[in-house]
Chain A
Amino acid sequence: MHYDDKNKATEKAKNLTKIGIEKVRNNKPLETIETPIGKRVLVIGGGIAGIQAALDLGDAGYEVHLVEKNATIGGRMAQLSRTFPTNDCAACILGSKMAAIPKNKNIKLSNYSEIEKIEGTIGNFNVTIRKKPTYVHADACVSCGDCVAPCPVSLKDEMQWGVTKRKSIYLPIDFAVPNKYLIDGDKCLNIKAQKKTGEPSKVCRLCEKACHQGAIDFSMKAEKEEFIVDTIIVATGHDVFDATRKPEYGYGKYENVMIAPEVERVIVHKGEGTPTIDMGERIAFIQCVGSRDEQIGREYCSRVCCMYATKLSQLIKSMANVNGENKDIYVFYTDMRTFGKGYEEYYKATQRMGVKFVRGRPAEVIEDSVTKKLIIKVEDTLNNIIIESEFDKVVLSVGMQLSEGGNEIAEILKLPKSEDGFLQEAHPKFRPVDTSKDGIFIAGTAQGPKDIPDSVAQASATAARAMRLMNQGKITEEPLKAFIETDLCDGCELCINSCPPNAITMQNGKVVVNPVMCKGCGMCIASCHADAIDLNMYTNRQMLAEVEAALKDKKEDERIVLIFANDMCGYKLADSVGTAKKAYSDAIRIIKVPSTSRITPQLMLQAFSMGADGILLADCEIKSSDFAGSIETAINYVDKVKNILTEIDEDPERVMIFQFATVMLPKFVALMNQMSDIAYKNKPISDKNKEIIHKNISKWLFEK
């Protein structure tokens, strides 16, 4: 806004109009980009999140292929006793969801299967899965269970966290879906022998003899299946922290130290009347094992442990009350994070039952070698005392981490992970279930620790997000995309690494841009020494023409500072300067760009060689993962130009980059004026230096 000098203001207005005209003059006709997309979805992971997403999509008429690596779906929720804060039996509420999967004619379930390979992009993901052999024909097996008794191999049941045993031929859990028996190929004597010799074996075929249906088939082989989907939902869940990594708590060494998932199974079996582990009279819960701990590289909070420890202590106490037993339960916590709906009330109810909550994080657990009881030494930080007490059982509330399967899928799909090791969402607030890859969504504990309500909510959210893309049969986008001048491309491949969504690939010796994956940031442009890659709506020619128009008629006493402002933040801020009627220097010319990384060092140097007195790049303060790495790239470019200016004895402060939040109006105005001051303080760049820059751009930027 230039209140003081109306003539100057008019001149500037004319200049700005010229800039706009040059941009438009260099426009070429563009069409919206349309990509066809079908209705096929791959859901990886059959836990509660995967199940919910599959059901939502199946009910909406989409074709779902649900792939689960275990023999049964249900995931971690199937291993719980009851769920907070309602104390609903997990198997009951989950069971009906699980049963709905095979009933839904739009859902195809591939259990006991793993993803081998996924290639391609949205609308065309080529998936290869490998179904492991169960050695039991599902269509013949009637789940009678006669095969179990004769089996000689007894093993710890992993589904039951080792609290009970199973045989080598087994039903994963009584409410398993599919409800079919299978043989553990790593532990079955016959199959082990078969694998060694490569020949059919007769070492032990007792189950085969016992089966009236003839369902058992030791010759079964793994099967591969290939199919194409349009979108993918990753719901691979979590593993729990390996408590042996905290040796001071003695898990794995002391028999009476347990982890919380084991206690879930003890409670389930006690409810069924099956005796398993006697929890004794005095039980201690230690919170934050594997969470909030820099010593083992797990700084984050696992979100559910406060609640599940409260739940387990509540359940143990109430079961004891029913049986007339006495239990002394202590929960040693650092914070009680009971934030959800009904959670605080649940915590209070547990306190009312007489469970004692002590604020202190135990340093170590010591075992009495004779009684095998455990002594915990802990500071009650609210009471300023040190408690040394004996317990019958110590339960470690272990935290969550990305599952092994999740890690594998992240590798296959090249999904980025957050600092906490979980899969990273596209934007923490506004795109919590998208990933930076179009068409791939994440839900449940794969994205981060959370409880069941949040997992289900996220799952339905991914279904909605996927449907949003697939519903209209095609994806339409603005043509703000990079394109290749194929004749000029020399196949050096430098642009490929510069593209955050990996939209550029090599084909027949030249690069090709996938228009669906390209986000139009322009980071690739600077990497090309052959001018072979360019950006629609912001072509090199357009940018240069705009700069030229701004500087062509510059007078001797005039100074011109170019501000390249990015669409999302910088340009919006510039607009608001106008609507707020703030005054600033008349030297400023504002030019819009999609991202400041579009402004190549070449362009900045060309601008200086044409007489620019200053350049300011105005970008976002927020981290937008669409253009991941763009700010770092732009800062890099600015540093390059600063160095070059210093070398030719020009003021490096002439070029600057700043990250703005859209509320930083005063800062924006201050910076504009600051740049203008620098421009006026210095003489314009000498003709000699302009020549030098013009002649050496290629040499400086592209020669090693």
Chain B
Amino acid sequence: MKIPYYPGCTLKSTAKHFEDSAIESAKKLGIEFVELPRWNCCGVVASLADDDIMHHLAPVRNMIRVLEMNRDGLVKNEKRLLTLCSMCYSTLKRSNQRVNELIDDLDVLNDFMYKEEVNYDGSVKIVHFLEILKEMGFDKIKESVTKSLENLNVAAYYGCKLLRPKEIGIDNSEVPIIFEDFISAISAKPVDWRNKSKCCGSFLTVDNKDVVVELGYSILTNAQKSGADIIVTTCPLCAYNLDNRQKNIKEKYPEFKEIPVVYFTQLMALAFGLSKEVTGFDGNYIDPVKLLKSKNIKV
């Protein structure tokens, strides 16, 4: 299956290993990510002011690209746009919902983008990779697992963007299971823990890293207390706040024990037996390889 794929800025730079592991793992499942031509930054955060049309422009342009892909035969009858980064997922999806509700605003946007060859008609559907995997059936993932991760206790960190607001959530916001089902499918053991969707602090990391340190400490220690060896995430911003910021957490809480944070597709690639270049564990700040070796998992 070929599906339009929206990487987002960070997946091409500091989170390249997220993209690489995702693309290769998807190939193993028969899914080909067809990158959106001429895609642009989605804007990271969703536009929340009700009078704002301007900030929906960037997301809508990307959706126009999807329509163009269909028109140009890059994909056949595929109006779904796949994202890996949950921040992009949330921003694109919320914009899409808004322009679908307010047809007048969509008209203004289309008018403004008069140079675009195609008008956006609201027909694109934004999906997250986890939704595609669920739709395909987690059993199919089980079949492709060649390396068992059964000793690995994994805490799924949903972050806020995948589940809230409820209109765009990929699962129930209080008791989600989709990520845990994924973890079971790649043969690892999902951990039940409380802070799975507690906010990591998001963009506050830029000028208020103290609060991010507090939140990160609370999230990570809860995962550890619940028995997690490793945490999986689906957002480069969460990954930065929970992974890279561990050095700041250690500064404030010297007794804090570090815990690796990886992208879910990295674990998937690992379970599928893909190479070191694909799993890309050197891209993570806290080294996961040491932990994996201690669990008898060869990288």
List residues of chain A with CB under 8 Å of any chain B CB.
246-248, 366, 369
Between A and B, 8 residue pairs with Cβ closer than 8 Å are: A246-B174, A247-B172, A247-B174, A247-B175, A248-B174, A366-B194, A369-B225, A369-B226
Pick from B174, B194, B225, B226 the residue with the most CB of A within 10 Å: B174
How far is the CB of B195 from the nearest CB of chain A, in Å? 10
Residues from chain A with a CB closer than 8 A to the CB of B194 are: 366
- CB-nearest residue of chain B relative to A367? B194
What is the CB-to-nearest-CB distance from B169 to chain A, in angstroms, rounded to a whole number?
13
Residues of B near any A CB (own CB < 8 A): 172, 174-175, 194, 225-226
**Measured between C-beta atoms, what is the minimum distance from B89 to chain A in Å?**
22
Query: Which residue of the partner chain A has the closest CB to B194?
Result: A366
Q: Which secondary structure characterizes the binding site on chain A?
A: mixed
Task: Write the chain B residue with the least CB distance to A366.
Answer: B194
Contacts of A248 in B (CB 8 A): 174
Give the complex CA separation of A541 and B255 in angstroms. 95
Contacts of A369 in B (CB 8 A): 225-226
Q: Tell me which residues across on chain B come within 8 A of A366, comparing CB atoms.
A: 194
Q: Which of A246, A248, A366, A369 has the most CB of B within 10 A?
A: A369
CA distance in complex: A587, B225 (Å): 85
Within the assembled complex, what's the spacing in Å between the Cα atoms of A246 and B175?
10
Give the residues in chain A near B174, CB-CB below 8 Å: 246-248
- Closest chain-B Cβ to A396's Cβ sits at a distance in Å of 15
Given contacts A247-B174, A247-B175, A369-B226, 5 further A-B contacts (CB under 8 A): A246-B174, A247-B172, A248-B174, A366-B194, A369-B225
CA gap between A248 and B164 in the complex, in Å: 15
User: Which residues does chain A contribute within 8 Å of B226, judged by CB atoms?
Assistant: 369
In the docked arrangement, what's the CA distance between A87 and B134, Å?
Answer: 55
Which A-chain residue is minimally distant from B193 (CB atoms)?
A: A369
Shortest CB-to-CB span from B261 to chain A, Å, is 23
Shortest beta-carbon distance from A527 to chain B in Å: 36
A369–B224 Cα distance when bound, in Å, is 13
Bound state CA distance, A296 and B226, in angstroms? 29
Query: How many Å lie between the Cα of A246 and that of B172 in the bound state?
Result: 11
Cα distance, A20 to B132, chains bound together (Å): 74
Q: Which residues of B contact A246 (CB under 8 A)?
A: 174
Tell me which residues across on chain B come within 8 A of A247, comparing CB atoms: 172, 174-175
Measured CB to CB, the nearest residue on chain A to B227 is A369
Report the bound CA distance from A366 to B194 in whole Å: 8
CA gap between A248 and B174 in the complex, in Å: 6
Q: How far is the CA of A246 from the CA of B225 in the complex (A)?
A: 25
User: Which A residues lie within 8 Å of B225 (CB)?
Assistant: 369
In the bound complex, CA of A268 to CA of B57 (Å): 64
Which residues of A are found within 8 Å of B172, using beta-carbon distances? 247
Alpha-carbon distance between A692 and B23 when the two chains are bound, in angstroms: 71
- 7 nearest CB pairs, A to B: A247-B174, A247-B175, A248-B174, A366-B194, A369-B226, A369-B225, A247-B172
Nearest A-chain residue to B225, judged by Cβ: A369
Q: How far is the CA of A586 from the CA of B175 in the complex (A)?
A: 70
Docked Cα-Cα span, A248 to B163, in Å, equals 14
Chain B's nearest CB lies how many Å from the CB of A363? 11
CA distance in complex: A366, B226 (Å): 13
Q: Report the minimal beta-carbon distance from A166 to chain B, rounded to whole angstroms.
A: 31
Nearest B-chain residue to A249, judged by Cβ: B174
The chain B residue with its CB closest to the CB of A248 is B174
Q: In the complex, what's the smallest C-beta–C-beta distance from A289 to chain B, in angstroms?
A: 14
With a cutoff of 8 Å between Cβ atoms, the chain A residues found around residue B175 in the complex are: 247
B253: min CB distance to chain A, Å: 19
A694 to B36, CA, bound (A): 63
The CA of A682 and the CA of B181, in the complex, are separated in Å by 72
Q: A488 vs B172: C-alpha distance in the bound complex, in angstroms?
A: 58
Which chain A residue shows the least CB distance to B166? Answer: A295
CB distance from B176 to the nearest CB of A (A): 10
CA separation between A369 and B194, bound complex, in Å?
11
**In the complex, how many angstroms separate the beta carbon of A361 from the nearest chain B beta carbon?**
16
CB distance from B174 to the nearest CB of A (A): 4
Q: Give bound CA distance, A369 to B175, whole Å.
A: 18
The residue in chain A whose Cβ has the minimal distance to the Cβ of B172 is: A247
